[in-house]
Amino acid sequence: MKYALLFCFLAPVFAADGPRLFYSKSFPGSSPAYAEITLDKAGAAEYREAPGEDNPITFRLKDTETEEVFGLADKLGHFDHALEAPVKVAFMGAKTFRWENGSEKGEVKFNYSQDPSAQALLDWFERMTESAQRNIELERAVKYDHLGIVKALLDLQAAQDKKRLVGMEQFLPMLDRVIKNESFMHTARERASEIADAIRAGKP
C-alpha cells in the first residue's frame, strides 16, 4: 500500500496462540477493490489492501469492542454454516469470514446475509475498514497535499460523528504532526487539535 502507516508504538503484536478472525471483501471497480482485516483476541488488528501486503496499517480495538466482535463470531458458530441469504440481490462484494484457533478453522463466503449476527459482524469490519481508509487519506494529505488537509480532517470528523471509526489512537500521530507544524493552515491545526483532544478524552 502506497500510504501505509507504520507506527511502532501502535503496531499490534499478534499472539502466537489464541483465536484470530479474518475478514476480506473483494469488489472490483470499488475503492479499494480489495480489503482484508485480521483481528486477534487481544484487539490487535491489521488492515491490508492486497493479500500478503508487507506493510499493513495497524491499530487496536478496545477490550469491550474486541469482546463484542468475537462474541458475534461465537454466535455464528465460528462460521460452520452458510450465511448467504436465499434471495436475489445485487452484487455487493465477495466477503469472507474466517476463524482460526490452532488447528480449528472455520470459513464462510457470502455476498449478502440476512443473519443479524452476520450483519452486525460485517458492520464491525466495515467500520475497521473505514477507519483505516480515513487514516490513509489523512496521511496522504499531511505528506503530499497540504491544501487537502482540511478536507481530510472534515471527512475524519464526519466519520467520527457518525460513530463509524474504531481504534481512534491510530490517528494521533498524524493529528499531532499537523498540530505542531506551523506551516499548516491555522484552520487545519485547530481542527486537528479538536479531534485529537476528543480522542484523548475518550469522547465518541
Closest CA to 66 of 90, 98, 44, 96: 44
Q: What is the pLDDT of residues 95-113, one digit of tens each?
A: 999 999 999 999 999 999 9
Quick one: average pLDDT of 6-13?
A: 42
Q: How far apart are CA 150 and CA 54, in angstroms?
A: 30
**Residue whose C-alpha cell is 457470502:** 110
Quick one: average pLDDT of 37-49?
A: 98
Q: What is the pLDDT of residues 112-132, one digit of tens each?
A: 999 999 999 999 999 999 999
pLDDT for res 6:
38
Question: How would residue 204 be classed by pLDDT, with cut points 50, 70 and 90?
Answer: low
pLDDT for res 203:
66
pLDDT for res 202:
85
Question: How would residue 19 be classed by pLDDT, with cut points 50, 70 and 90?
Answer: very high
Q: What is the pLDDT of residues 45-77, one digit of tens each?
A: 999 999 999 999 999 999 999 999 999 999 999
CA dihedral 186, 191, 193, 196 (to 10 degrees): -150
Q: What is the pLDDT of residues 123-177, one digit of tens each?
A: 999 999 999 999 999 999 999 999 999 999 999 999 999 999 999 999 999 999 9
